[in-house]
Amino acid sequence: MGSYVEPYTAIAEPCRNFNILGMTAFFDPKDGREKLVLSNYVEGSTGSLIFIDTETGKGEALQFPGDTGAWALLFMPEYGRLLVGTCESFGYLHSLDLKTRTWAKPLRHENELYIWNLELGSDGMVYGGTYPGCLLLRYDPGRHVLESIGRVSDNPRDLYSRTVYGGVPGHIIIAGGYDTSFLRAYDIEKQTFFDFGTPGAEVREIKDRFICTEYNGSFEFFDPVTFAPISSEGLNEELEIRKLTLPDGSDRHVIRLANGKWAGICGQSYFLAEADGGAPELRSIPVPAPPTAIHTIVADDNGTIWGATEFGQTIFSCNPQNGTYWNSSNVCSSGGEVYGMQFAQGKLFLTAYAGGDHIVYDPRQPWDQLNNINPKTLRSVAPDLIRPTGRTVLGPDSGIWTGWSAKYGTYGGGLSRIDPKTFEVQSWYDPIPGQQVCGLAADNRHIYFATNGYASGLPYNDEVNCHFAVWSPAGEIVFKHAFPRGVKLGSVLAVGGKVLVPVGSSIHVFDTLSMAFGGSIDVSQSSGALVALDVERAAVFGKELLVLNVRTGQLEQCGALPGPVHTAVLTKSGDLIFAHKTVLYKINQNRRIVDYR
C-alpha cells in the first residue's frame, strides 16, 4: 500500500506585520541606555517586546513566555523589572528582569483573557483591569503574587474593567462597561468602590491639584481628595500633550523621551517628533516582522492572492506559484483589522474594524496612505456599525456589499454598499433588529445574509432567533426566515441557484427560485469557509474538505485539513487556495476536487 498523501501543500507564510498595542520608555538596566519599548501582538503565535535604542535606532526582540500580545507595560525601576499584562488567551502577568532578560513564573487569574493596563498604586501595589470578568487585579511586586479584589461592576453583563489609573493617593480609578458604562474609584484602605463623574468618561490626566476626565471631547475636573467637581478655570492650560496629529489627520498617542522628543507609532513604523512640534520622522521598526495569522483572502484576475492579517490593519499579496509575497503598511488610521476584501474594476475594496471603515486601494498606483490618497478611506459607518462580520461580496448591481455588527455594547447590525465608480457609500442599520450580520452572499438577482446574537463587548444573546434574509439591491428585505432559538448561524454561499446555510453539522439549502428552504444535508462536521467551484458544486471546509453537489446533494470527501479554515478562494486558473493560522495552502492538483473546471 502507498503512503498517505496530504490533499494540500503549504505555499508560504506571507502575512507579516507588527501590531503595537503598548509603548513605554526608560533607561534600560542592562546597558544604561534609553529604550523605546513596544509590545507587539502576533496573531497566531506568541507576542514579543521590541527594544529600540532611542539614539542609535538599533532594535532587539524578546518573545513573551506565553500569549499573543499585550496592552499593558509598566516599568518598575526599583525592581529593575518590566511588567507585561497580556491578551488574548490567558491574561498573564509577566515580570521581566531587565538586566538578565529572564522572565519570572507567569501569573494569571483563572478565566481572565486580557489584562488591559497596569498602574502603580500609592500603596506600592500594582493594579490592573481585565476582560471578561471585569475584575480589579492587585499584584505584589515584592512577593510576585497576583490576586483579585473582585468585580468592579455589579452588572454581570459588564465584561470590561478597561482602564485603571493609579495617580490618586489612596485610590485606584477604573473605567469600563460595556452593557453599561462606569467610572469608579476604589478606596484602597476601605476596600470599597464608588462612582464619580460621567459614566463612560476616560481619565485624561491626574495631577496633585486635580483629576481631569474627558467625555466626547469635553473635560471635567475633580478634587483628588474628595472627588467633588471643581472649576476648570485655569486648569485646561495645565494639561500635557498626549497625542500628535499626523498628516492623515489621525491623532497618535505619544510619550516623552529623555531628550524632550515625542515618540509614537504610525502603522508599521515608529516616529520621533521634536518637542517644538516639528514634523514627525517615520522610522522602520528595526527587527523583522513576524508571520501572523491570515484573516481573509481573495484572488485577483492574474491569480495573485491578496489577504489581510487577523489583527493589525495590514494587507498582503502572494504569488501562489512561487510563494513570493509583499506586505503593506496599515491601510487606514483606525486600529483593528480588515474583514472584507473584494476586487472590482482593478481596485481592491476593503472593509475594516474598528472604525467601520470602507477603503479602496489601487495596486497599480504608488502607496500613500498617510495622505489618504492610496489606499483611500471612504465614508465610515461608525459609530453605529464598526465590525464587518458578514465580510464583503460583489452584488448583482456591481456594488460592493458588506455585512456589519453594531458598536460596542449594542446588539445589532447592518449592511453597506460602495459604488465602485463614484465611491459613494450607502448604509442600512438593523435590517433584522438587534442582530449582527454574520454571513453574506450574492448571485445575479439578490444579496443573501444571515444574522446571529453576537456583539462587541457583550455576551451572546441567547434570546434571539437567528435569521436568513434575502435583500434586494434596491435596499429592502424581500424574504426572511427565523430559525428556532438556540440555532446559531454563520457564513452563507450562493451557488447553482441555491444558498447554502450551515447549521451545526448540517447545511440547509435555500432555493432562490421558489424562495423556500428545501431541506438540509448532513455533512457531519461544522462548516467554515465555503467556496463555489462551478455552477453546481461547492467546497466545504471543516475538519476535512468536502465537495457538495447542490443539485444532487452528493458529497465527496477530499481529505483532512491542517485545522479550522475560515477563508478560502478559487483562482481563475483553477487553484483552490486556503489559509490556516499563518500559512497559505493550495489543494494539490492530483486531488479529485480539481476536476471541477
Q: How confident is the model at residue 376 (pLDDT cuts 50, 70, 90)?
A: very high
CA angle 389, 529, 319 (to 5 degrees): 100
- The answer to whether the CB of 177 falls within 8 A of the CB of 153 is yes
Cβ neighbors of 91 (< 8 A, separation 6 or more) are 67, 85, 108, 109, 112, 113, 114, 115, 130, 131
CA distance 541 to 249: 42
Question: What pLDDT is stored for residue 597 in this prediction?
Answer: 37
Single-letter amino acid code for the residue at 35: K
**194 vs 591, more confident:** 194
CATH code of the domain occupying 19-240: 2.130.10.10
Per-residue pLDDT, 5: 66
Q: Are 592 and 558 in contact (CB under 8 A)?
A: yes
Q: Provide CB contacts within 8 A for 134, sequence distance 6+.
A: 151, 152, 153, 158, 159, 160, 161, 176
**pLDDT confidence of residue 595:** 47
Band (pLDDT 50/70/90 cuts) for residue 195 is: very high
Closest alpha carbon to 414 in 432, 395, 393, 398: 432
pLDDT (0 to 100) of residue 6: 80
Residue-wise pLDDT tens digits, 4-55: 568 899 999 999 999 999 999 999 999 999 999 999 999 989 999 999 999 9
pLDDT for the residue numbered 513 = 96
- CA distances (Å), 524 to each of 7, 504, 507, 509, 586, in order? 19, 9, 10, 16, 24
- At residue 277, does pLDDT exceed 70? no
Query: What was the pLDDT predicted at 3?
Result: 52
Q: How confident is the model at residue 593 (pLDDT cuts 50, 70, 90)?
A: low
Q: What is the pLDDT of residue 596?
A: 40
- Give the residue-averaged pLDDT of 415-427: 98
Report the pLDDT averaged over residues 369-373: 91
How confident is residue 591, by pLDDT bands cut at 50, 70 and 90? low
Q: What is the pLDDT of residue 279?
A: 76
Which comes out higher in pLDDT, residue 217 or 16? 16
Segment 570-592 shows an average pLDDT of 90
Mean of the per-residue pLDDT values of the chain: 95
pLDDT in tens, 429-464: 999 999 999 999 999 999 999 999 999 999 999 999
- The pLDDT score that the predictor gives to residue 281 is 84
pLDDT exceeds cutoff 90 at 66: yes
Give the model's pLDDT for residue 594: 47
Band of pLDDT at residue 590, cut at 50, 70 and 90: low
224: left (phi over 0), alpha (psi -120 to 50) or beta: alpha
For the chain, the structural domain boundaries read 19-240
For the chain, counts of helices (H) and of strands (E)? 0, 53
With contact defined as beta carbons under 8 Å apart, do 104 and 82 qualify? Answer: no
**Can you say whether the dihedral through the CA atoms of 356, 362, 365, 367 is positive or negative?**
positive
**d(C-alpha 450, C-alpha 468), whole Å:** 4
Residue 328 · residue 367 · CB < 8 Å? yes
pLDDT tens string 125-162: 999 999 999 999 999 999 999 999 999 999 999 999 99
Give burial (CB, 10 Å; 0-12/13-18/19+) of 362.
Answer: middle
Percent of the chain's residues with pLDDT above 70: 97
Q: What is the mean pLDDT of residues 378-404?
A: 98
